[in-house]
């Protein structure tokens, strides 16, 4: 089994575009008729549903931002009667007040199809045992992959996140072959396996499907080594449905966007202007099929690049490269833009574990940046001199990457809290002053 929905996943690009156009025209009418908040935005911009003939007219429509969703909380964006909805999910609240998304049964169905496509792309079949170690509950990770795993016909192990030793016990006893969780939790499971005395080849896992937070290629290789698997990226957000908005195939050169359901654009985050394919910018999505909570031109604040380069897997859907981070993750330190992912790349390249924390502060009107990294257990007993030398070496590697010099502190193994969901990498104390 190579595809979950072959006809759609390998559809010629001009047919996909025609399908998107047809769906967009219907969707805009649905939203205009049923969501007064968006109707007002369209009226203010002087655009009517009749002006939208296809995807070429998309740029005429107003954007929706997280601010709009917070303003209309809890029911303002609903496009069907509440009695038609069967579920809510909510964002993790990583960057502020949570947003609630609503689903009809059909919305759930399509979302689970997207997750099933991702599982099949990672090599999943009905013979696999799929352990879902994303959190269950309001967070979309657990329920989304759970539904996808059922659709593929895997034996689904709904572990949720946490209780890591029990997680590992089930993984070994049930011979789990696929694991789904955040990359930071996957790293923690790998670390715990080792501590429990297991080697990577002692487990039965072949693939992992990891997402919901940014992670670097260096972290991917680290996880692949510690679990003895191939690690696949999956992307999504609650506002658009959840995980499975896009997913990696075996080629692993970006994630195919399920563009029969989600129409992507890249815009300049400052001007809102649509940028040509291949240019980095803010990712924007329009939901083409969603009934209950169909956001139009939703600004994700995730920064990435789209590419329609032909893929060896046979899928024709456009790819997005790994998001380099959210525009609101970006730290401005003494006027220089710094992403946590740049720091992670250097740390892992220099042989450290992905357990780190970045502390930003302002002292005497100057920004400071401190990076706390765990020293490996083998080096824990090194002399103070040797440790100071390691810190200096890391500081210099970070300075080369970032253009500014952070202060590095090597801290004792296990002293930085492990994450079972999305890791908190940055503590910005400047906001507290």
Binding interface with Zn ion (CB under 5 A): 249, 251, 311, 313, 315
Looking at the Cβ atoms of 326 and 362, the one nearer to ligand ADP is 326
Neighbours of 251 (CB within 10 A): 15
* Residue 315 interface partner, choices ligand ADP, Zn ion, none, CB cut-off 5-8 Å depending on type: Zn ion
- In DSSP notation, 215-259 reads --HHHHHHHHHHHTSEEEEEEEETTTTEEEEEEE-TT-SSEEE-T
Looking at the Cβ atoms of 11 and 114, the one nearer to ligand ADP is 114
Neighbours of 34 (CB within 10 A): 16
Shortest Å distance, C-beta 313 to Zn ion = 3
* Residue 311 interface partner, choices Zn ion, ligand ADP, none, CB cut-off 5-8 Å depending on type: Zn ion
Shortest Å distance, C-beta 322 to ligand ADP = 6
* Residue 379 interface partner, choices ligand ADP, Zn ion, none, CB cut-off 5-8 Å depending on type: none
* Residue 131 interface partner, choices ligand ADP, Zn ion, none, CB cut-off 5-8 Å depending on type: none
> Could you list the residues that contact ligand ADP (CB under 6 A)?
91-95, 211-214, 233-238, 300, 302, 322-323, 326
* Residue 395 interface partner, choices Zn ion, ligand ADP, none, CB cut-off 5-8 Å depending on type: none
Shortest Å distance, C-beta 341 to ligand ADP = 9
Looking at the Cβ atoms of 249 and 267, the one nearer to Zn ion is 249
Looking at the Cβ atoms of 190 and 236, the one nearer to ligand ADP is 236
* Residue 313 interface partner, choices Zn ion, ligand ADP, none, CB cut-off 5-8 Å depending on type: Zn ion
3-state helix, strand, coil in the chain (%, to 5): 35, 25, 40
Shortest Å distance, C-beta 2 to Zn ion = 10
Phi, psi at 198, each rounded to 5°: -95, 150
Looking at the Cβ atoms of 214 and 281, the one nearer to ligand ADP is 214
Whole-angstrom distance, CA of residue 367 vs CA of residue 427: 13
- On whether the CB atoms of residues 128 and 148 are closer than 8 A, the answer is no
Shortest Å distance, C-beta 71 to ligand ADP = 17
Looking at the Cβ atoms of 302 and 367, the one nearer to ligand ADP is 302
Tell me the three state secondary structure of residue 65: coil
- In DSSP notation, 251-281 reads T-SSEEE-TTTEEEEEE-TTT-PBPPTT--E
Looking at the Cβ atoms of 27 and 91, the one nearer to ligand ADP is 91
Residues near 398 by beta carbon (within 8 Å), at least 6 away in sequence = 343, 346, 371, 405, 406, 408
Whole-angstrom distance, CA of residue 374 vs CA of residue 106: 46
Shortest Å distance, C-beta 118 to ligand ADP = 11
Q: Shortest CA distance to 69 belongs to which of 98, 46, 48?
A: 98
Shortest Å distance, C-beta 224 to ligand ADP = 16
């Amino acid at each position: 089994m190579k595809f979950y929905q072959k006809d759609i996943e390998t559809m010629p690009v001009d047919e996909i575009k025609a399908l998107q156009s047809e769906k967009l025209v219907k969707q805009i009418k649905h939203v205009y008729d049923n969501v007064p908040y968006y109707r007002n935005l369209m009226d203010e911009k002087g655009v009517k549903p009749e002006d939208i003939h296809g995807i070429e007219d998309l740029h005429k429509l107003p954007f929706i931002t997280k601010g709009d969703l917070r303003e209309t909380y809890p029911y303002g964006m609903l496009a069907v009667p509440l009695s038609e909805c069967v579920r809510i999910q909510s964002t993790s609240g990583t960057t502020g007040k949570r947003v609630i998304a609503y689903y009809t049964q059909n919305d759930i169905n399509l979302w689970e199809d997207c997750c099933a496509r991702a599982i099949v792309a990672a090599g999943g079949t009905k013979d696999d045992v799929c352990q879902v170690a994303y959190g269950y509950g309001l967070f979309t990770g657990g329920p989304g992959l759970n539904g996808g795993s059922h659709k593929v016909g895997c034996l689904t192990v709904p572990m949720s996140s946490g209780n890591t030793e029990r997680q590992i016990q089930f993984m070994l006893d049930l011979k789990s072959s696929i694991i789904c969780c955040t990359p930071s939790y996957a790293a923690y499971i790998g670390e715990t396996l080792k501590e429990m005395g297991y080697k990577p080849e002692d487990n039965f896992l072949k693939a992992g499907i990891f997402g919901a937070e940014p992670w670097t290629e260096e972290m991917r290789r680290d996880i692949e080594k510690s679990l003895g698997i191939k690690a696949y990226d999956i992307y999504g957000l609650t506002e658009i449905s959840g995980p499975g908005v896009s997913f990696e195939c075996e080629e692993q050169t970006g994630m195919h966007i399920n563009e029969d359901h989600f129409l992507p654009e890249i815009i300049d985050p400052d001007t809102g202007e649509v940028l040509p394919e291949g240019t980095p910018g803010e990712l924007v999505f329009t939901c083409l099929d969603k009934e209950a909570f169909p956001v139009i031109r939703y600004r994700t604040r995730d920064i990435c690049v789209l590419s329609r380069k032909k893929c060896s897997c046979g899928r024709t859907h456009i790819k997005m490269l790994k998001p380099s981070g959210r525009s609101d993750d970006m730290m401005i330190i003494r006027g220089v833009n710094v992403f946590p992912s740049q720091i992670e790349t250097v740390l892992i390249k220099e042989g450290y574990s992905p357990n780190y924390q970045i502390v930003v502060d302002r002292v005497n009107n100057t920004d400071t940046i401190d990076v706390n990294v765990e020293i490996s257990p083998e080096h824990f007993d090194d002399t103070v001199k040797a440790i100071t030398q390691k810190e200096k070496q890391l500081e210099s590697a970070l300075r080369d990457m970032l253009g500014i010099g952070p202060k590095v502190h090597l801290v004792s193994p296990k002293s930085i809290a492990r994450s079972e969901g999305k890791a908190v990498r940055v503590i910005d104390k400047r906001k507290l002053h």
